[in-house]
Amino acid sequence: MRRLGALLWLALVLLASGYLALRLHDGLGFRTDLLALLPREEQDPVLQRANDAVTKALGRRVLALVGHADRETARRAATTLGDALLATGQVERIGEGIDVDRLKRLGALYFPHRQSLLSDGDRALLTAGKGEEVATRALSQAFGFAGLVDAGLLRTDPFLLLPSFLTNLPFPLSRLTPDEGMLSVTENGTTWVLVSAVLAGEPFELDLQDRLVGAFDAAVRDMPGVTVKRLGAVFFAHAGSKTAITEASTLGTLSLVGTMLLVGLAFRRPGPLLHNLLALGVGMTVGLSGSLLLFGELHVAALLFGSSLIGVAVDYSLHYSASLFDPLSGSPSDRLRHVLPGIALGLVTTLIGYAALMLAPFPGLRQIAAFSIIGLVGAFLTVVLWLPSLDRARRLTHGALMLRAATGLWSFWEARRWRGVRLVLVLGCVLAGAVGLARLSADDDVRRLQAVSVELRHEQDEIQRLIGATTAAQFLLVQAADDEAALRRQEDLAATLTGLKAKGSIAGYQMPAAFVPSARTQRENRALVATALDAPLLAAQRASLGLPPAEPNSKAPEEVLTLGDALAADSVPFLRELVLGPGLHVVALQGLSDPDAVRAAVAGTAGVRLVDPTADFSALLAKYRHRALLLTGLAGLLMLPVLMWRYGWRGGLWALLPPGAALILAPAVVGLMGQDFTFFHAMALVLILSIGVDYAVFCAESGVEQQPVTMLAVWLATLTTLLSFGMLAFSAVPAVHSFGVTMLVGISIAFLFAPLAARGTRHNEATNNARLL
């Protein structure tokens, strides 16, 4: 029976290895964005779509400022950098898209509608009856020094309304000025030239990151004396994934080497070492190939957390191998029968913990959970089906000292002479728990969870200072029945936004209505031009300019410029990014310094709201922090019937006491350390519960005579867990660090209290009988 199972398991493992080899051969696609780990809640599909579109457009932008004291050198370097980026093939286009050709198309789009398009200033002048001023300005441009307008325009637009409209279009990047086809700014003798690019793919694709950032760095290296400052999600993502991948390999290697060293030192035989390696290797292989099969791709974080699985997967084989120290141990099959209830119960409770992770709709965490569940089941099956057949090891006799030392913890909880110390310890824990929990505060700001390169942040600030203001991640979403209604909404909103600009809450804004006014406004403008300019002043203006009197049919056509026309012509820069769909428009905000003021100002306006993707994510994290805590409680509740079935109701409660204490004390220690409690701290609690319950179960299952052996196994299991999960505390990624710190503290506490789990079972007939089996 076991032989058949072992063979079947072998076939399955070989299949999994083959699949993994195939996938590795094809090259694995890793995802690296932290946000992919987070749940997508489709509460409001429209909002979600707007959010995605805007975040995507912003995420694909790359800005760099190339600076040198010599204007020509700076310009040459900017061209070289742009060419280098373009040569990677990862860039859709270089430049703001404001080239001469585009400006010509822009003119061609607007020209037929010149009498319907007025700048805000001109509209105000005409409304106030100051048409004279508009006329005089046109004349001063025509007659003034070195004449600023060309003949064709003056003939067809004698009041020069169109140039006024064009120069007042709200293009962003306010401090930059076009200089022979390049946007630049001069400060303290240094000319900064802008190089901007739009990525062809997502900034979180590893391959794209490597190629683009590699080309960027190489180009910058070849420009001695030129200062280059960079800004873009791709640079942050590249730095972040570099950290994550380096950590995954160093921390993974450290925990593997540490675990093997520990096992080797404890058993001093190659057999147990090889058994543990085998269980571990099989666990990792089936875990990796299983999750690749399920998800098609793997998140870097799943890999990082998954590599920590080493510490848990090895628990079962350790427990099996530790029975070699048992003076009463018999054949390998006997030894397996001895540890089987413990490791089976340990597996079931751990799986309950991971299954709770699966309940939360987090794409990334589901991967971690799936990876862990498959890996743990794999390690368990390897222990149960393979190890007894492979085992040729004799009983170990060298461990007397080690066993005595290991039992020390058990005696600490049992011996009379430690009673005083125990009391102090428990009271200390209660006090620390109370103080720590009281001091604990939550922080869900998503920005604090990502490792952000200080250098990149500094360059970003510099760029923002130099070019004035950059587009904020926050934006206003305007929703209406159709485009015309949405445009009108924006025009009604303009006064509010101008007020916010005057207060300094924003530096500027772009809305579709500024590029294509609503049909209502275009008709009003037309009427205004006819009554306030043409009727009283046109004849005189043409005469002053030496133009023949206007022909009656020389009027521009009646039809209005529509948003559809403007989009089809693709001549207005940025417009495509602002129009998400019919009646769904974005108002981009520049230099947003006070989101609350903006939110308050638009609060009363129907169909307009401030969307703040970062704040939304933070709110989501807060929600899921609560849910993680609920899941932990739920997992505990689900474990309780299993434990009570085995140990009786009292024994079940005792078995849950050690992990329970860890669950309360770990967050308390986080509070005492002055850290804020985040979603990632909360997720660690789920694992502390499932791993801590393992230790409790191992202890509860142990007969008095096996206590030293059990304690040795629990010692080893704890140390390996600390070597893996505890290592994560040294991660530079705040989210991973938070997780690791919590694990470090929680697992230590669960271990420290583990012997208490046996208290409820000592006098329990059912368990004593069960142990005899």
In the complex, least distance from residue 101 CB atom to another protein, rounded to whole angstroms: 9
Residue ranges of the alpha helices (H) in 386-452? 387-390, 400-414, 419-439
Size of the chain, expressed as the number of residues it contains: 773
In the complex, least distance from residue 142 CB atom to another protein, rounded to whole angstroms: 6
* Closer CB to another protein, 164 or 748, in the complex: 164
* Closer CB to another protein, 186 or 562, in the complex: 186
Residue showing tokens 């998954």:
306
In the complex, least distance from residue 575 CB atom to another protein, rounded to whole angstroms: 23
In the complex, least distance from residue 103 CB atom to another protein, rounded to whole angstroms: 10
Q: Do 589 and 598 meet the contact criterion of CB atoms below 8 Å apart? A: yes
**Among 10-18, 89-97, 133-141, 264-272, the segment contacting another protein (CB under 8 A):** 133-141
In the complex, least distance from residue 743 CB atom to another protein, rounded to whole angstroms: 55
* Closer CB to another protein, 165 or 647, in the complex: 165
- 129: buried, middle or exposed (CB in 10 Å: 19+, 13-18, 0-12)? exposed
* Closer CB to another protein, 155 or 404, in the complex: 155
In the complex, least distance from residue 104 CB atom to another protein, rounded to whole angstroms: 9
- Interface with another protein in residues 194-253 (CB under 8 A): none
**Among 43-51, 134-142, 215-223, 381-389, the segment contacting another protein (CB under 8 A):** 134-142
* Closer CB to another protein, 72 or 765, in the complex: 72
**Among 56-64, 132-140, 251-259, 756-764, the segment contacting another protein (CB under 8 A):** 132-140
- Interface with another protein in residues 63-92 (CB under 8 A): 71
Contacts of 197 (CB under 8 A, 6+ apart): 61, 62, 82, 85, 86, 91, 92, 93, 94, 95
Pick the closest to residue 756 from 692, 712, 705, 669 (CA basis).
692
| 473: number of Cβ within 10 Å | 18
In the complex, least distance from residue 185 CB atom to another protein, rounded to whole angstroms: 7
Please give the torsion angle defined by the CA atoms of residues 441, 446, 449 and 451, in that order, rounded to the nearest 10 degrees: -140
- Interface with another protein in residues 319-348 (CB under 8 A): none
Sort strands 177-179 and 182-187 into parallel, antiparallel or unpaired: antiparallel
Please give the torsion angle defined by the CA atoms of residues 514, 516, 517 and 522, in that order, rounded to the nearest 10 degrees: 140
Grouping H, G, I as helix, E, B as strand and the rest as coil, residue 633 is helix
User: Residue 65: beta bridge partners?
Assistant: 194, 229
* Closer CB to another protein, 146 or 401, in the complex: 146
Pick the closest to residue 659 from 631, 686, 625, 680 (CA basis).
686
Q: Do 219 and 274 meet the contact criterion of CB atoms below 8 Å apart? A: no
Element (H, E) at 91: strand 91-94
* Closer CB to another protein, 133 or 565, in the complex: 133
Residue showing tokens 């005792």:
654
In the complex, least distance from residue 225 CB atom to another protein, rounded to whole angstroms: 19
- Interface with another protein in residues 95-114 (CB under 8 A): 100
- Interface with another protein in residues 135-194 (CB under 8 A): 136-137, 139-152, 154-155, 175, 177, 179-181, 184-186, 191
* CA atoms of 374 and 286, how far apart (whole Å): 7
In the complex, least distance from residue 26 CB atom to another protein, rounded to whole angstroms: 48
In the complex, least distance from residue 230 CB atom to another protein, rounded to whole angstroms: 21
- Interface with another protein in residues 536-565 (CB under 8 A): 544-548
In the complex, least distance from residue 182 CB atom to another protein, rounded to whole angstroms: 9
* Closer CB to another protein, 175 or 501, in the complex: 175
* Closer CB to another protein, 140 or 333, in the complex: 140
Contacts of 282 (CB under 8 A, 6+ apart): 13, 378, 379, 381, 382
CA distances from 72 to 193, 329, 545, 710 (A): 10, 84, 41, 76
* Closer CB to another protein, 125 or 744, in the complex: 125
* Closer CB to another protein, 152 or 225, in the complex: 152
* Closer CB to another protein, 175 or 242, in the complex: 175
* Closer CB to another protein, 56 or 71, in the complex: 71
In the complex, least distance from residue 515 CB atom to another protein, rounded to whole angstroms: 22
In the complex, least distance from residue 591 CB atom to another protein, rounded to whole angstroms: 17
* CA atoms of 675 and 677, how far apart (whole Å): 6
Sort strands 227-232 and 30-31 into parallel, antiparallel or unpaired: unpaired
* Closer CB to another protein, 520 or 542, in the complex: 542
Pick the closest to residue 602 from 613, 587, 614, 591 (CA basis).
587
Give buried/exposed letters for 7-41 (b at 16+ CB in 10 A, else e).
Answer: eebeeebeebbebbeebeeeeeebbbbbbbbbbee
In the complex, least distance from residue 73 CB atom to another protein, rounded to whole angstroms: 13
Count of positions on this chain that bind another protein (CB under 8 A)? 35
Within a 13 Å sphere around the CA of 526, how many CA atoms are in the beta-carbon half? 18
Pick the closest to residue 493 from 601, 365, 346 (CA basis).
601
* CA atoms of 549 and 356, how far apart (whole Å): 83
End-to-end CA distance of the chain: 20
* CA atoms of 49 and 347, how far apart (whole Å): 41
Question: For 195, which DSSP code?
Answer: E
Please give the torsion angle defined by the CA atoms of residues 659, 660, 663 and 665, in that order, rounded to the nearest 10 degrees: -100
* CA atoms of 33 and 283, how far apart (whole Å): 26
Site string for another protein, 502-541 (x = CB under 8 A): ----------------------------------------
Contacts of 121 (CB under 8 A, 6+ apart): 164, 168
Q: Do 61 and 94 meet the contact criterion of CB atoms below 8 Å apart? A: no
| Number of alpha helices (DSSP H) and beta strands (DSSP E) in the chain | 31, 13
In the complex, least distance from residue 55 CB atom to another protein, rounded to whole angstroms: 32
In the complex, least distance from residue 309 CB atom to another protein, rounded to whole angstroms: 58
| 397: number of Cβ within 10 Å | 9
* Closer CB to another protein, 150 or 596, in the complex: 150
**Among 52-60, 131-139, 221-229, 516-524, the segment contacting another protein (CB under 8 A):** 131-139
* Closer CB to another protein, 18 or 144, in the complex: 144
* Closer CB to another protein, 72 or 596, in the complex: 72
**Among 130-138, 241-249, 362-370, 742-750, the segment contacting another protein (CB under 8 A):** 130-138
In the complex, least distance from residue 100 CB atom to another protein, rounded to whole angstroms: 5
User: Residue 30: beta bridge partners?
Assistant: 298
Where do contacts with another protein occur on this chain (CB under 8 A)? 71, 100, 133, 136-137, 139-152, 154-155, 175, 177, 179-181, 184-186, 191, 544-548
